[in-house]
A and B are shown apart, each in its own frame.
Chain A
Amino acid sequence: MPRTRTPVVAGWFAGDGDDFRLLGTRCSSCTSVFFPREDSHCRNPGCPGGDLEEVPLSRHGRIWSYTDSRYRPPSPYVTDPELPWEPYALIAVELESERLVVLGQAVPGVTVADLTVGMEVEIVPGVLHEDTETVWTTWNWRPTGVTA
């Protein structure tokens, strides 16, 4: 039986391949964008509050900063204690039109040695971990032009 693909957080991203996007919300009154999404009330203190509509965020951005996790993070991050720890890179990306910074894991195989601040990256679908019934999906940042 095929395993189901389930987003690690519901409603934060959607789409396949080139259509994959992070999903935020935008206030209809002041145009503020929120990620993670705000669905109840606009957080701009100068806004009377408008409807919050779902919007896909830009596919591309530039690296604000980056780091990695050389040690196994604690629970609730899910890892297989039987396997040796493989560090992964974390990238904070500045989206130009939304003017916000979003953190995400780099695609597997990209290390901090491959990255520089200011480099262009794009959002791609990724897999956080898998268990017997479920493939838990997430978002990854990938340097533009790298195919994985």
Chain B
Amino acid sequence: MAADGGDGMTEEVAVLGAGMHPWGKWGRSFVEYGTAAARAALADAGLGWRDIGSIVGADTVRGGYPGYVAGATFAKALGWQGARVTSVYAACASGAQAVNTARAQILSGLADVVLVVGADAAPKGFFRPVGGDRPDDPDWLRFRVLGATNPAYFGLYARRRMAVHGDTPEDFAQVKVKNSALGALNPYARYRKQVTAEEVAASAVVADPLRLLDICATSDGGAALVLAGMEFARRHGARDPVRIRAVSTVTPRYPNTVLDLPDMATDSAAAVQPAAETFRASIARAAYEEAGIGPEELSFAEVYDLSTALELQWYEDLGLCGEGEAAKLLREGVTALGGRIPVNVSGGLASFGEAVPAQAIAQVCELTWQLRGDAGDRQIAGARVGIAANQGLFGHGSAVIAVR
């Protein structure tokens, strides 16, 4: 039995439509970004909103009550039409949870065709905990007791890589150089200017050893997908659609020995031997097992580059290379467009900035466009298999494998 509780491969669902609202700092409501993305995905699928039997919204904690019931918020904005509604939250992994919920409804026969939507309107500066005195909330405590912002954790991971694997700030900067060049080719990206290594090195240190241009910004944005059962897709005339073959939503296993956001300490490994693989590595493995696909079969990957150094960590966690070999992979151009396994051809978070509940959905939009051959100047030749991976704080794994 697989760690996710399943017993191996599941049936596939078809991606009939993908749509996004451009990322940026637009100063409008998340509802507007989400409905724009939803309409784009419906148009892409050749379906009307009233053809949709179920809508799944990925929640935002920054939009007040409507953000906590995002599915209903988007359904109302699109015009109530009676569809089944679900709203899910899993921090950065909310989008993958929404995709997984839609898939489960389709595979169980609850719905033929499901609209998945996530959108956010981000605050200025650091993400901060919701207000009030909440000493029982680790997210509140890490700010109150340590002032430990998200970039502080990214700084810890980056320094650890430097000490253990010999990565350098110059390696980290090269991730930004690669991703900014790709983001320049993506009309949905917020940052579309190519960045040089010198510009990264000249930007201010935020959390040693990381600089401003090593760390992803927070953005407004919206993304949506129309998912359907294979039978519905055939009836609808989609003969060779992009298919989602696996969705990993695993949690860590005790003891979790990597310091994770928002915790101030790891579990103790004194009494129980930790698993041989880290939580992040288990996220990808569960997806590979479910898909019946290994890392050597991937055409490309979209990973959650909250920082440049974290992108390198993902290379190892996805099994694209051995432990400590990520910087070498990058230096050799293996993960660049035209390399053996391009990573973040969308431009990644480096070019988008994070719009939390939309981000994992946006990753699947990129998988879809690449697998269809619709990615324009950033198209990967002959893309057949893609993986999108991320990790949401509080122990949320997220990985999606799509094929064509």
What is A's interface to B at a CB cutoff of 8 Å?
Answer: 8-9, 27, 30-36, 43-46, 64-71, 73-78, 88, 90, 92, 97-105, 112, 116-118, 128, 138
Q: How many Å from the CB of B124 to the closest CB on chain A?
A: 10
Additional 16 contacts, C-beta under 8 A, given A31-B271, A32-B271, A103-B146: A27-B271, A32-B270, A35-B265, A36-B264, A66-B156, A67-B152, A68-B155, A68-B207, A74-B128, A76-B140, A90-B156, A92-B259, A100-B267, A101-B257, A101-B259, A103-B264
* CA gap between A118 and B164 in the complex, in Å: 10
Quick one: which of A44, A104, A112 contacts B208, CB cutoff 8 A? A112
Pair B272/A30 contact, Cβ less than 8 Å: yes
B206-A70 in contact (CB<8A) = yes
Q: Among the listed A73, A92, A116, which residue makes an inter-chain contact with B147, where contact means beta carbons less than 8 Å apart?
A: A73
B9 interface hit (Cβ, 8 Å): no
Contact A100 B268 (CB under 8 A): yes
Tell me how far the C-beta of A114 lies from the nearest C-beta in chain B, rounded to whole angstroms: 12
Which of B140, B143, B160, B270 is most buried by chain A, counting CB atoms within 10 A of its CB? B270
20 sampled A-B residue pairs with Cβ under 8 A: A8-B145, A27-B271, A32-B268, A32-B271, A35-B265, A43-B254, A44-B255, A65-B163, A66-B156, A66-B208, A67-B158, A71-B149, A74-B125, A74-B149, A76-B129, A90-B148, A90-B156, A100-B268, A103-B264, A105-B146
- Chain A CB within 10 Å, residue with most, of B142, B210, B259: B259
> Among the listed B265, B268, B270, which residue makes an inter-chain contact with A103, where contact means beta carbons less than 8 Å apart?
B265
User: Which has the most chain B C-beta neighbours within 10 Å: A36, A65, A105?
Assistant: A65
Q: In the complex, A76→B143 CA distance in Å?
A: 6
Number of interface residues of B (CB under 8 A): 46
Identify the B interface with A (CB < 8 A). Answer: 125-126, 128-129, 133, 135, 138, 140-149, 152, 155-160, 163-164, 204-210, 254-255, 257, 259, 264-272
Pair B160/A33 contact, Cβ less than 8 Å: no
**Across the interface, which residues of A come within 8 angstroms of B257, CB to CB?**
99-101
User: Contact partner of A117 among B133, B147, B159, B272, CB < 8 A?
Assistant: B159
Q: Is there an interface contact between B143 and A68, defined as CB atoms closer than 8 Å? A: no
Of all chain A residues, the one with the shortest Cβ separation from B129 is A76
| CB-defined contacts of B268 to chain A, threshold 8 Å | 32-35, 98-100
The answer to whether B264 touches A33, judged by C-beta atoms less than 8 angstroms apart, is no
Q: With a CB–CB cut-off of 8 A, which chain A residues contact B272?
A: 30, 32, 44, 46
Which B residues touch A99, using CB under 8 A?
Answer: 257, 268-270
Q: What's the least CB distance linking B295 to chain A, in Å? A: 27
User: Which of A75, A77, A98 has the most chain B CB within a 10 Å cutoff?
Assistant: A77
Cα of A103 to Cα of B264 in the assembled complex, Å:
5
With most chain B CB atoms within 10 A of its CB, the pick from A64, A103, A112 is A103
Contact call A65/B157, Cβ cutoff below 8 A: yes
Do residues B254 and A77 form an inter-chain contact, with CB atoms below 8 A?
no
* A31-B271, A35-B265, A103-B265 given; A69·B152 CB < 8 A: yes
- Expressed in whole angstroms, the Cα–Cα distance for A100 and B149 within the complex equals 21
Residues of B near A44 (CB, < 8 A) are: 254-255, 271-272
Whether B157 and A100, one on each chain, are in contact in the complex, defined by CB atoms closer than 8 angstroms, is no
In the complex, A105→B146 CA distance in Å? 6
A48 to B177 alpha-carbon distance, docked (Å): 51
Q: Is the CB of B264 within 8 A of A67?
A: no
On whether the beta carbons of B145 and A138 are closer than 8 Å, the reply is yes
**A74 pairs with B270, CB closer than 8 A:** no
Q: Are B265 and A101 in contact (CB under 8 A)?
A: yes
A73 to B125, CA, bound (A): 10
Taking CB atoms, residues of chain B closer than 8 Å to A128 are 145
Asked if B144 and A102 sit within 8 Å, CB to CB, the answer is no
Task: Tell me whether A101 and B143 are in contact (CB under 8 A).
Answer: no
**Is A9 in contact with B254, judged by CB distance below 8 angstroms?**
no
Contact A77–B163 (Cβ < 8 Å): no
CB pair A67 B163 closer than 8 Å? no
Give me the 9 closest cross-chain CB pairs, A-B, nearest first: A67-B155, A73-B147, A117-B163, A77-B147, A99-B269, A74-B128, A65-B160, A100-B268, A76-B144
Known: A67-B156, A103-B265, A117-B160. A8 touches B144 (CB 8 A): yes
